[in-house]
Amino acid sequence: MLLKETQEKLLPTLKKYFGYDSFRNQQLEIIEAVLSKKDNLVIMPTGGGKSICFQLPAILFEGLTLVISPLIALMKDQVDGLNANGIAAEFFNSSQKSKEHNTIFEKILQHKIKLLYVAPESLSLLGNILTEEIISCVAIDEAHCISSWGHDFRPSYQQLGFLKSTLPNTPIIALTATADKATRQDIVQQLSISKATQFIASFDRKNIELEVRPANDRVSQIIKFINKKPSESGIIYCLSRKTTELLTSKLKQNGIKAAAYHAGLSFEERTKTQENFIYDKIQIVCATIAFGMGIDKSNVRWVIHYNMPKNIEGYYQEIGRCGRDGLKANALLFHSYSDVIQLRKFMTGASNEEVQIAKLERMKQFSEATTCRRKILLSYFGELLADNCGNCDVCKNPPQNFDGTIIAQKVLSVITRLNESEAIGTVIDVLRGAHNATILEKQYDKLKSHGVGKEISWRDWQQYIIQLINQGFCEIAFHKNNALRLTNFSKKVLFENAKVNLTRPIAVKEFLETKKEITSKKTKKDTLFERLRKLRHQISLEGNIPAYLVFSDATLKEMEKVRPMCKTDFLEISGVGQRKLEVYGEDFIAEIISFMGEKINKPKKMDTYNITYNLYKEGLSIDEIAKKRNLKSTTIFSHLAKAYTDGKEIDIYEFVSKDEVEKVRKAKSDLKSPPALKPYFEYFNSELEYFKIRLALTIIDKEY
């Protein structure tokens, strides 16, 4: 059991260092278990909030928390993030000189560091730091790397078993987003933590909207998608290096800041792209699967799969990289049969071919689903969802069933006429009566069924045939050039008049939009959020710290909603801890106030002031008006200031004394009438509140 004293510290510590007001799902239980010095295995989806599970205990432990992490390149960001929150952390790896190592050792011995990030390869360099006097806890991030069962095996992880024997009484917390059972058992066994409590969090990431579209005209669909989200960061996953480069150049031609990322590029190029992405210098990365592991950038707003992923594990991990901040995010997958065929080809001959193909089959079923997609995903991870999610394309646009018997008959008879020797593309060409080279050469235009399906579009035929395959009315002969073949079921349709149910293909909205609509959406609005984003970007460049480490999108959104105009209110925002209040508070508050000020001067917005003024005339206090209008009292004051300027009857000295007005008058002359309020605020050493400064200036300005 945890001491009551410690327990009472948990929430205040979370707020002070991370700025959050409450724990997410199982974080609290996990933290309590770590602080009770138990071993733990934590399985949480990407973006679920694993880091705090060891970072918060690290603050409270007397000694050092060692964090084993696989990627040297990303340790710096994690450490920067901790430092930005006022937590002393360092990384330790082979890229540093021995002098740097010695400095770190000294700091450790003086208890000046709370967390030390180390790659497994560098553990042996730690020497006599590895004792229980110095180390309070060991966290093993991306713990699935230990298992050759997992999808990301790293040999260097296999030596970690020695940690338990060297530090038998030190709690180990192993963390991963890989859920499968074999991997889990392997981790526990290899780390010798057989008594570890296993925390398996829900894999549901409700904020990610799931969507699957047929892969026709992918590039233009993607450009339209991006143009609707002009400043949002995103990742596009592609199967091949070549595709990442082609796509990147097409995006660039369309004025979109994108870069390619794949294993064929040099280490320097890859690092640069990753950094540019993290620092919001490029908007989009077109990558092979090698990109993204360990990237904690919380404001990735969307992930697109240009090609079908190999399996659901990979897909889920990749889409998990968007929306880590909990705000709305989008995952869009392009489904194509030729991808499935290509992936099957890669898998043929692999040692575990059968397993791989079975996994691909599940991925395919997901892509072709006509029921809630999230239910399918979560059931794959052993989680059952009671209700449909309401946040996937199927839920939003439920498929409509109709009698597709005639359509099925047409397809199957074409397959028969073609002697079951042609793949899906040629079958559709015959149905639609095409006269291209293949058709003419093979004289398919002479077939009786050539052109029996002219009235249906290519895209829809493709959808119908996929549905027929899924229902078993025909099949793909993967080993015979992917030709479409008949099955036992086919005969029932062709000769016994069996009824076939099909669903109408979902119309992709983007296809229907006019160009004008799209360009009009591209212009960014002048919202407070945009202003705060700009300020964040500027701070990011000046301080050489990734923008999302300054504040997350979620935090900026809340600032926009609440509009804090003093430090007390600013600290209330989720994501603002003590350190960030001190370092960034004033700049953000000033930006909010200046935005509010400009909006006040726009006549269009007058209504809101009149409402406030009328309530004031009715005799309500400022607090009462604020409560009634669900606005901050500082906002109410700014309304009254405006009303006063407009000559409305207000006893303004009720809120600011004559003495204070005189002080502000002096400040104004000393400071030579600065345009913003912040210089005044600083002039008074933060002792005169912003609303008083504003009211005093209103009075002074009105005198002239």
Positions touching Zn ion (CB under 5 A) are 372, 374, 388-389, 392, 395
Give the integer Cα–Cα distance in Å for 549 and 80: 8
Site string for ligand ADP, 611-640 (x = CB under 6 A): ------------------------------
Q: Which is nearer to Zn ion, 193 or 392 (CB)?
A: 392
Q: Counting contacts by CB under 6 A, is residue 16 touching ligand ADP?
A: no
CB of residue 534 vs Zn ion: minimum separation in angstroms?
A: 36
CB of residue 141 vs ligand ADP: minimum separation in angstroms?
A: 8
**CA 352 vs CA 240, 347, 358, 672, 695: distances in Å:** 22, 8, 10, 76, 74
Nearest Cα to Cα of residue 292 among 383, 433, 177, 374: 177
CB of residue 316 vs ligand ADP: minimum separation in angstroms?
A: 12
Binding-site partner at residue 190 among ligand ADP, Zn ion, none, CB < 5 to 8 Å by type: none
CB of residue 170 vs ligand ADP: minimum separation in angstroms?
A: 22
Q: Which is nearer to ligand ADP, 78 or 633 (CB)?
A: 78
What pairs with residue 66 in β-bridges?
A: 116, 138
Binding-site partner at residue 374 among ligand ADP, Zn ion, none, CB < 5 to 8 Å by type: Zn ion
Binding-site partner at residue 48 among ligand ADP, Zn ion, none, CB < 5 to 8 Å by type: ligand ADP
**Residue count, binding to ligand ADP (CB under 6 A):** 17
Q: Counting contacts by CB under 6 A, is residue 186 touching ligand ADP?
A: no
CB 556 within 8 A of CB 537: no
DSSP helix/strand/coil, 303: strand
CB of residue 380 vs Zn ion: minimum separation in angstroms?
A: 14
CB of residue 327 vs ligand ADP: minimum separation in angstroms?
A: 10
Nearest Cα to Cα of residue 549 among 300, 291, 278: 278
Quick count: other Cβ atoms within 10 Å of Cβ 123? 20
CB of residue 662 vs ligand ADP: minimum separation in angstroms?
A: 45
Q: Residue type for 645, please?
A: T
CB 445 within 8 A of CB 461: no
Site string for ligand ADP, 321-350 (x = CB under 6 A): ---xx-------------------------
Binding-site partner at residue 44 among ligand ADP, Zn ion, none, CB < 5 to 8 Å by type: ligand ADP
Q: Which two tokens stand for residue 107?
A: 């700091």
Quick count: other Cβ atoms within 10 Å of Cβ 367? 25
Q: Counting contacts by CB under 6 A, is residue 552 touching ligand ADP?
A: yes
Q: Which is nearer to ligand ADP, 409 or 578 (CB)?
A: 578
Give the integer Cα–Cα distance in Å for 683 and 398: 61
What pairs with residue 300 in β-bridges?
A: 233
- Beta-carbon contacts of 178 under 8 Å, excluding residues fewer than 6 positions away, are 43, 144, 150, 151, 152, 313, 317
Give the integer Cα–Cα distance in Å for 141 and 143: 5
- Beta-carbon contacts of 117 under 8 Å, excluding residues fewer than 6 positions away, are 67, 69, 75, 78, 79, 89, 90, 91, 92
DSSP string, 4-17: HHHHHHHHHHIIII
CB of residue 298 vs ligand ADP: minimum separation in angstroms?
A: 4
Q: Counting contacts by CB under 6 A, is residue 49 touching ligand ADP?
A: yes
Binding-site partner at residue 473 among ligand ADP, Zn ion, none, CB < 5 to 8 Å by type: none
Q: Which residue in the set 30, 52, 423, 677 belongs to the binding site for ligand ADP (CB under 6 A)?
A: 52
Q: Which residue in the set 40, 51, 178, 336 belongs to the binding site for ligand ADP (CB under 6 A)?
A: 51
Q: Which two tokens stand for residue 260?
A: 């390619």
Q: Counting contacts by CB under 6 A, is residue 48 touching ligand ADP?
A: yes
Q: Which is nearer to ligand ADP, 55 or 307 (CB)?
A: 55
CB 163 within 8 A of CB 191: yes
Half-sphere exposure of 546 toward its Cβ, with a 13 Å CA cutoff? Answer: 28
Phi, psi of 212 (to 5 degrees): -125, 135
Q: Which two tokens stand for residue 259?
A: 């870069």
Q: Which two tokens stand for residue 72?
A: 């040297």
DSSP helix/strand/coil, 192: coil
CB of residue 315 vs ligand ADP: minimum separation in angstroms?
A: 16
- Beta-carbon contacts of 683 under 8 Å, excluding residues fewer than 6 positions away, are 667, 670, 671
Q: Scan residues 295-324 and list those touching ligand ADP (CB under 6 A).
A: 296, 298, 324
Q: What DSSP designation does 127 have?
A: G
Q: Counting contacts by CB under 6 A, is residue 47 touching ligand ADP?
A: yes
CB of residue 374 vs ligand ADP: minimum separation in angstroms?
A: 19
Q: Which is nearer to ligand ADP, 84 or 456 (CB)?
A: 84
Binding-site partner at residue 50 among Zn ion, ligand ADP, none, CB < 5 to 8 Å by type: ligand ADP
Q: Which is nearer to ligand ADP, 18 or 306 (CB)?
A: 18
Q: Which is nearer to Zn ion, 506 or 535 (CB)?
A: 506
DSSP helix/strand/coil, 589: helix
Binding-site partner at residue 395 among Zn ion, ligand ADP, none, CB < 5 to 8 Å by type: Zn ion
Binding-site partner at residue 51 among Zn ion, ligand ADP, none, CB < 5 to 8 Å by type: ligand ADP
Phi, psi of 142 (to 5 degrees): 50, 50
Q: How far is CA 324 from the centre of its chain?
A: 4
DSSP helix/strand/coil, 346: helix
Q: Counting contacts by CB under 6 A, is residue 366 touching ligand ADP?
A: no
Nearest Cα to Cα of residue 550 among 19, 5, 1: 19
- Beta-carbon contacts of 662 under 8 Å, excluding residues fewer than 6 positions away, are none
Q: How far is CA 343 from the centre of its chain?
A: 27
Q: Which is nearer to ligand ADP, 197 or 342 (CB)?
A: 197
Q: Which is nearer to Zn ion, 374 or 450 (CB)?
A: 374
Q: Which is nearer to Zn ion, 36 or 388 (CB)?
A: 388
Give the integer Cα–Cα distance in Å for 290 and 365: 25
DSSP helix/strand/coil, 422: coil
Q: Could you give the angle at the alpha carbon of 673 between the alpha carbons of 669 and 674, nearest 5°?
A: 135
Binding-site partner at residue 52 among Zn ion, ligand ADP, none, CB < 5 to 8 Å by type: ligand ADP
Q: Counting contacts by CB under 6 A, is residue 176 touching ligand ADP?
A: no
CB of residue 204 vs Zn ion: minimum separation in angstroms?
A: 11
Q: Which residue in the set 50, 301, 344, 373 belongs to the binding site for ligand ADP (CB under 6 A)?
A: 50
Binding-site partner at residue 324 among Zn ion, ligand ADP, none, CB < 5 to 8 Å by type: ligand ADP
Q: Which residue in the set 26, 40, 46, 274 belongs to the binding site for ligand ADP (CB under 6 A)?
A: 46
Give the integer Cα–Cα distance in Å for 259 and 453: 42
Binding-site partner at residue 392 among ligand ADP, Zn ion, none, CB < 5 to 8 Å by type: Zn ion
CB of residue 299 vs ligand ADP: minimum separation in angstroms?
A: 9
CB 222 within 8 A of CB 304: yes
Please, is 222 exposed, middle or buried when counting C-beta atoms within 10 Å of its C-beta (0-12, 13-18, 19+)? buried
Q: Counting contacts by CB under 6 A, is residue 546 touching ligand ADP?
A: no
Please, is 465 exposed, middle or buried when counting C-beta atoms within 10 Å of its C-beta (0-12, 13-18, 19+)? buried
Binding-site partner at residue 47 among Zn ion, ligand ADP, none, CB < 5 to 8 Å by type: ligand ADP
Q: Which residue in the set 20, 337, 489, 680 belongs to the binding site for ligand ADP (CB under 6 A)?
A: 20
Q: Which residue in the set 15, 17, 23, 28 belongs to the binding site for ligand ADP (CB under 6 A)?
A: 23
Q: Which is nearer to ligand ADP, 51 or 467 (CB)?
A: 51
CB of residue 389 vs Zn ion: minimum separation in angstroms?
A: 3
Give residues in contact with ligand ADP (CB under 6 A).
Answer: 20, 23-24, 27, 44, 46-52, 296, 298, 324-325, 552
